[in-house]
Structure formats: C-alpha cells, structure tokens
C-alpha cells in the first residue's frame, strides 16, 4: 500500500489518506494536504470540489483496501478458524490505529452521510464475513456450536478495534497482542 503516486490527483488522495489516519478529518486542513502532496491550491480545487470531496475519495480507498486485505486472508489457505486467527494476528501498524475505525470518532465524518457510508459498510461487511467463517468452523466441528456466530464475530472485531485503543493508551503495541491473546484464549475454551 501507499505506492508512490505519479500524478497530482493520485498524490492528493494518498496524502489525504495518510493525514486522515494520523490526524482525522477535523484535524486535517487543505493546506496540510497540499504541502504533503506537493500540489498547489489550484491543483487541489481543480481535481476535487473541496476538502469533503477529497476526503471521500481517500476514505473510500482506505475502506476498499481494508476489505481487500481482510478478504485475502479470509479466502486464503487454512481452516475457517485458522483464517480468523491469521487475520487477528496479522502484522499491523498497531500504534497508528485502524485507518477506518478511527473515523468513527470523527464528528464531521459521522455527521455527513456520504463520508459515513464507507465506514459503516466496511464494518457491516467485516462482521458478516467473520460470522460466516465462524458458522463454517462450527459446521466443521472446529468450534463449539453453542456459540452465537454473529455475536462472536462482533466481539472479535471489537477486540481488534479496542485493541488499538488500549495499545495507544499504553503507547505499547504489545498490549494489542495481549488483547488478541486474551480473546483467543477465551475462544479456545470452545475449540474441539
């Protein structure tokens, strides 16, 4: 990700993605975007109608990327339960947090239905996809069939997102790993 973009429009989107990740929508100004992308005022307003329009392009791409990276693991090798574990344990930029999840804390993003939609859809999809994998794991007898797949999936996504929060609070990426370990430890009680 973050391939070095060659054209101005592309650099604007990638710079905005990075800034939204670091500082959120409220904390990101057009001026900063222009400085980081190396594009001038005029270029930005030529390619996009304004801050919100550019943010939409950035958010949409980050959401797509997050989904694609997850799907690559979910549809990859291993049993369903193994793939979920692989996803939870995969290498992450923990202290930077989740580029999509952090937008849920941004009042101006959540207040704008257009900006909000990609965020909402990403998490709806992620929870549904993991629900399906958990159901598969149950069908294969990998995990206890008494677990509610949807609730368990939501809990696992929450551990992931909350893992970023507690790790950032501690300024220690290891705390994220501990949260995941704890969740998988609990899940292990239901393994067959």
Partner DNA sequence: GTCTATATTACGATAGAC
Partner DNA sequence: GTCTATCGTAATATAGAC
Out of 42, 77, 113, 185, the residue judged to bind DNA by CB under 7 A: 42
What is the distance between the alpha carbons of residues 184 and 192, in angstroms, rounded to a whole number? 14
- By CB under 8 A, which span of 6-14, 46-54, 76-84, 116-124 interacts with a copy of itself? 116-124
Out of 61, 110, 132, 173, the residue judged to bind a copy of itself by CB under 8 A: 110
Site for DNA in 11-30 (CB under 7 A): 28-30
Site for a copy of itself in 17-56 (CB under 8 A): 22-24, 26-27
Q: Under a CB-based contact definition with an 8 Å cutoff, are residues 21 and 102 in contact?
A: yes
Note whether 189 binds DNA by CB under 7 A: no
Out of 41, 105, 114, 145, the residue judged to bind a copy of itself by CB under 8 A: 105
The minimum distance between CB 84 and a copy of itself, in angstroms, equals: 13
């Amino acid at each position: 990700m973050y391939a070095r973009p060659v054209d101005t429009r592309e650099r604007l989107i990638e710079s905005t993605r990075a800034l939204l990740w670091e500082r959120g929508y409220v904390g990101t100004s057009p001026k900063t975007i222009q400085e980081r992308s190396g594009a001038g005022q005029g270029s930005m307003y030529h390619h996009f109608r304004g801050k919100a329009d550019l943010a939409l392009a950035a958010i949409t791409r980050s959401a797509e990327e997050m989904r694609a990276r997850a799907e690559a693991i979910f549809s990859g090798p291993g049993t369903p339960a193994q793939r979920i574990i692989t996803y939870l344990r995969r290498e992450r930029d923990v202290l930077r947090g989740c580029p999509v999840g952090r937008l849920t804390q941004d009042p101006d993003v959540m207040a704008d239905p257009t900006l909000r939609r990609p965020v909402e859809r990403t998490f709806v999809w992620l929870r549904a996809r993991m629900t399906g994998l958990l159901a598969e794991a149950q069908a294969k007898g990998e995990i206890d069939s008494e677990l509610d797949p949807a609730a368990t999936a939501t809990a696992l996504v929450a551990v992931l997102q909350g893992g970023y929060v507690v790790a950032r609070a501690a300024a220690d990426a290891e705390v994220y790993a501990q949260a995941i370990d704890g969740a998988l430890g609990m899940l292990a009680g239901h393994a067959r």
